[in-house]
Amino acid sequence: MITMHPTRRVPGRLQTIAFALAALIAVVDQAAKAAARAQLDAPINLTPFLALRLGFNPGVTFGLFAGSGAVGRWALSAVASLIIGALLAWIWRTRSAVTAAAAGLIAGGAIGNLVDRLRFGAVTDFIDLHWGAAHWPTFNLADAAIVCGVALLLLTVRGSDSRAASSTLGRAAR
């Protein structure tokens, strides 16, 4: 009797690099947040528009769901875990280096913020961009990685749409 075993896919170089990028983002983010929690007793103005100012966000972007308490904390953590799982699966399956890098940035940032939410009940923020009295909501390196990853994905989608449109136009002209 012949037994068939499903072929296991071994991560390629692309996936290994993307997983390493996600891990690196999460580790650097956690180290920066630990330094901020340990050192930022008072705000430090670095430039006229950039300061380091310690803050904690129990919600999500722009403080949404901040007042949702323990139920919100665990619900947000569960949703973040599902998103991280989907991103890691996407990395596993993609053949695009850009998509893998973007998903790695987003996953690493999401992991960094999830660790904070589970450990402290809130995400540690410390980067304060401002112009005069107008302040952007304080954020962290994980947030920056997520934004960069999403921007990279949007540029990739935009680029693939324009390539598809130009190839369609080229065929129509013939």
Length of the chain: 174
Phi, psi dihedral angles at 3 (to 5 degrees): -105, 130
d(CA 129, CA 121): 24
> Does residue 25 contact residue 103 with C-beta atoms inside 8 Å?
no
Catalytic residue among 29, 116, 125, 128: 125
Tokens of 24: 């690196």
**Is residue 125 flagged as an active site residue?**
yes
* Annotation marks residue 29 as catalytic: no
Token code pair at residue 156: 């990739």
Residue numbers annotated as active site: 125, 143
